Structures are given as C-alpha cells and as structure tokens.
Amino acid sequence: MSKDTKVVLLILAILAIAVVIVIEIIYVPAIQTPPSSSSPPTSSESTHSEPQKQWIKIRTFAGVGDKTTALFNISSNKWRINWAVETKRPDLGVFVLYVYPEGETRSYMFIEQIMHDCDGDYNDTTYVYEGNGSFYIRIECSNLKGWTLEVESWQ
C-alpha cells in the first residue's frame, strides 16, 4: 500500500470518528436537573414516589448434616439463597441443595450442587426466578463442619 493511500485512509478514519462524535452530541438528550426540594411540585409532577425494591430476609437456616427445611413463603418472582459452607476436608466437601414447591417431594424445581476443592469457608448466592408460593429446601452434604442458608425475596 502506497504512502498516499495510507494518508487518505487515515483522513477518512478521522472524518468518520468526527461524524460519530457530532451525531452523539446532536442526538444525546439534554440532562434535566430535577427541581430543588424547596419548591413545591407543580400540578404535572407526582407527589408520590414508588418505593424502591430491596432484598428482604425471609428465613435463615443452619445445620451440620443433611436437612429438610421448614416451609417458607415467597411473594415475588425473584428471590435468592445466600449460602455458606465450612468444610472439614476441602478436597472432599460436598453441598447440594434442592428447592421444592410445597407439597412436592419428587420433582424439584431447582438444584445447586457444589463440590469444591478449596480451603475452609465457601459461599455464594443462588438466584431463583419462580415464586409466589410456599417452598422448602432439602440439603444433602458431606465432610462439612456446617452450612447456613439465608432466603431473601426481592420486594
């Protein structure tokens, strides 16, 4: 490729970048500053704001071995299980949790299986996107000093 061709391509690239920048400047909507809190709302402004959603703790469970939890109620379609385990033997730690809807004993709706090779404590969060009902969790584990589960609902 000749030196003149390289110069032309460089100029075209610079022009293309300049056009993109100009388009971004023209089409980016102006940022509006909210009215100060000292001025009363106008008739077109709402005086009620929608509450912010947040994670609400529903139940906490803890144990050493296998366990089936008590029922807990979830009133949203988004919830999570914060779980933590402490292993006796890091090379052989096993932790499995099954989530069941109330009344179900065979078909679980969700499973989290952790077989890890790490030292000591291990924790994570499992998200579930089905809800509006009562559920329970069955935990199967081995070579653990203990485990904890914290169920939270997005409300």
Q: How confident is the model at residue 34 (pLDDT cuts 50, 70, 90)?
A: very low
Token digits of residue 101? 């809807």
Q: Is residue 80, in this structure, part of any structural domain at all?
A: yes
Q: Is residue 1, in this structure, part of any structural domain at all?
A: no
Q: Is residue 76, in this structure, part of any structural domain at all?
A: yes
Instruction: Compute CA distances 149 → 16, 47, 98, 113, whole Å.
Output: 54, 40, 12, 14
What are the beta bridge partners of residue 68? 138
Q: Is residue 49, in this structure, part of any structural domain at all?
A: no
Q: Is residue 4, in this structure, part of any structural domain at all?
A: no
What are the beta bridge partners of residue 140? 96
pLDDT at 130 over 80: yes
Mean pLDDT (whole number) for 60-74:
96
Which domain CATH number covers 125? Answer: 2.60.120.380
pLDDT of residue 24: 41
Q: How confident is the model at residue 33 (pLDDT cuts 50, 70, 90)?
A: very low
Mean pLDDT (whole number) for 57-81:
96
pLDDT of residue 5: 73
- Please answer whether residues 72 and 153 qualify as being in contact, where contact means their C-beta atoms are separated by less than 8 angstroms: no
Q: Is residue 127, in this structure, part of any structural domain at all?
A: yes
List the single range of 1-10, 34-43, 124-133 with lowest mean pLDDT. Answer: 34-43
Q: Is residue 27, in this structure, part of any structural domain at all?
A: no
Please state the pTM of the whole predicted model. 0.63
What string of DSSP letters covers the chain?
--HHHHHHHHHHHHHHHHHHHHHHHHHSPPPPPPPPTTSPPPTTS-S--PPPP-EEEEEEEEESS-EEPPPEEE-SS-EEEEEEEEESSTTTEEEEEEEEETT-SS--SEEEEEEE--SSEEEEEEEE---SEEEEEEEEEESEEEEEEEEEEE-
Q: Is residue 113, in this structure, part of any structural domain at all?
A: yes
Per the document, the length of the chain is 155
In degrees rounded to 5, what are phi and psi of residue 85?
Answer: -135, 150
What span, in angstroms and rounded, lies between the C-alpha atoms of 2 and 90?
A: 63
Token digits of residue 115? 């077989």
Token digits of residue 125? 């969060």
Q: Mean pLDDT: which of 104-113, 126-135, 144-153 is highest? A: 144-153
Q: Number of folded domains in the chain?
A: 1
Domain carrying residue 104: 55-154
Mean pLDDT (whole number) for 18-40:
40
